[in-house]
Amino acid sequence: MAYVQKGTLGERQEHGTGIFSITEISSVISSVLDDTRLQDIWVRGEVTNFRPHVSGHRYFSLGERAQNGGAVLHCVMWKTDARRIGGEFRDGMDVIAFGSITHYAPQGKYQFIVRELRHTGEGEKHLLVERWKTELAAEGFFSEERKRPLPRFPLKVGVVTSETGAVLHDIRNIIARRYPVEIVIAPTAVQGESAHCEIAAALARIDGCCDVIIIGRGGGSFEDLFPFNHPDVVRAIARCRTPVVSAIGHEVDVTLADFAADVRAETPSAAAELVVPDRGILKEALAGYAKKLGADLIGKMDRASRDIAELRSRIAPGRMERLIAQRQQDTAVMAERLIRALSATIALERKNICFFSEQIEGRNPLRLLERGYALIEKDGNVIKDVKAIEAGDLVLARMKGGRLELLVRSVTYDKNL
């Protein structure tokens, strides 16, 4: 930020700082006016010197009463904001204006660029709504995480609105045309000093008695819609167990109730279209599903018919007899081969049995007894070596025809022979 340097002309020239140009002064002023305290602020005053311009811009001043010093603030409202705000505008009006202070270098003056303008009473309510909005947002009532989806096929639709207004008539007609369901009404005043209390009570009465709730009213001024900004209504919407659709005023009208609701509709008619499906579209969808299912069924029947025809061709009587005869012949051939193989195996086994029997019989030690040999046993064991016998041992000799008990008188080993 630049600052104007103080000092006499001689002092400034002596220090080499030179003389400021008008542009430099304007730059300093602009930088000073960039202070955030002068940006996006509300200012209250009386409209004076109002001069509408052919371009659509509005030029005027905001002044204070003489007892407050008689200060004046030059103001301009560009045509886009003027067109949006509209309404009556004249000298002597006590207003609250919202905007920012800027410096207009070509005329060497600062001015207030006004973006919003309200009558004093209405302006104070706007400020109150802004304060409520900040407080309720901090409490989490506008959080997206707490918003719930609407039921796709509700059985009962609740409506919180005036019992005599056009809103209820429009909602009934649209629901009857689109998807007739039961409508549960919780009548309430929708404007007036105590309207917010009635609206909150109506929401509490109807909650849990239906599948979805529409809270709405027709269009109106900011003052008319003010009850739907009240914290009592916002909290009542947030407490509802049933999903809530807000349909308050027209598309351009936004209230705090809209921020708290699960879904916001532009109008009550749009809300009615949101909460119930269109039975015409449903019928078309069902017809499409039926057509697809029919086509799938016909396709499956065609495939089944082809499969049955193929099975019939496979099990035709003549073909089946031929297949059976072929299988019988194959079985007979296999049986004959098995019999021949089994016979050959049995004959071979017989030859092997005879051979092994002869071999076993020839090696039978008892056959040796017939040739004059004897088996000597001691203590029930066959003696294979004479070293196992000593003089005085009692042994058993097995010979052809019987056994002998022998007492050994002496033993002579081969080495002694």
Highest mean pLDDT among 34-38, 351-355, 391-395: 391-395
The residue-averaged pLDDT of 107-135 equals: 81
pLDDT above 90 (res 299): no
Q: Could you tell me which residues come within 8 angstroms of residue 199 by beta carbon, excluding any fewer than 6 positions away?
A: 160, 188, 189, 190, 215, 227, 228, 232, 233, 236
CATH architecture entry for 35-127: Beta Barrel (2.40)
pLDDT above 90 (res 298): no
Residue 314 has which token pair? 């496979």
Q: Look at the block and give the residue holding tokens 């209820």.
A: 168
Cα–Cα separations (whole angstroms), residue 365 to 21, 348, 357, 362, 375: 148, 28, 14, 8, 9
Q: Could you tell me which residues come within 8 angstroms of residue 133 by beta carbon, excluding any fewer than 6 positions away?
A: 256, 259
pTM of the model: 0.50
Question: Do β-strands 156-161 and 212-217 pair in parallel, antiparallel, or remain unpaired?
Answer: parallel
pLDDT mean across residues, the chain: 83
pLDDT of residue 276: 94
CA gap 142, 132 in Å, rounded: 12
Name the phi and psi angles at 43, rounded to 5: -130, 135
Q: Which of 17, 13, 15 is nearest to 2 (CA)?
A: 17
Residues of CATH 3.40.50.261 domain(s) within the chain?
139-276
Q: Could you tell me which residues come within 8 angstroms of residue 206 by beta carbon, excluding any fewer than 6 positions away?
A: 158, 160, 184, 186, 213, 242
Q: Which residues pair with 159 in a beta bridge?
A: 185, 214
Residues 227 and 194 sit within 8 Å (Cβ to Cβ): no
Residues of CATH 2.40.50.140 domain(s) within the chain?
35-127
pLDDT above 70 (res 4): no
pLDDT of residue 174: 94
CATH architecture entry for 139-276: 3-Layer(aba) Sandwich (3.40)
pLDDT of residue 9: 44
Q: What is the pLDDT of residues 16-44, one digit of tens each?
A: 456 777 677 777 777 777 777 888 888 88
More confident residue, 302 or 262: 262
CA gap 71, 63 in Å, rounded: 6
Question: Do β-strands 244-248 and 212-217 pair in parallel, antiparallel, or remain unpaired?
Answer: parallel
The residue-averaged pLDDT of 147-170 equals: 92
pLDDT above 80 (res 371): no
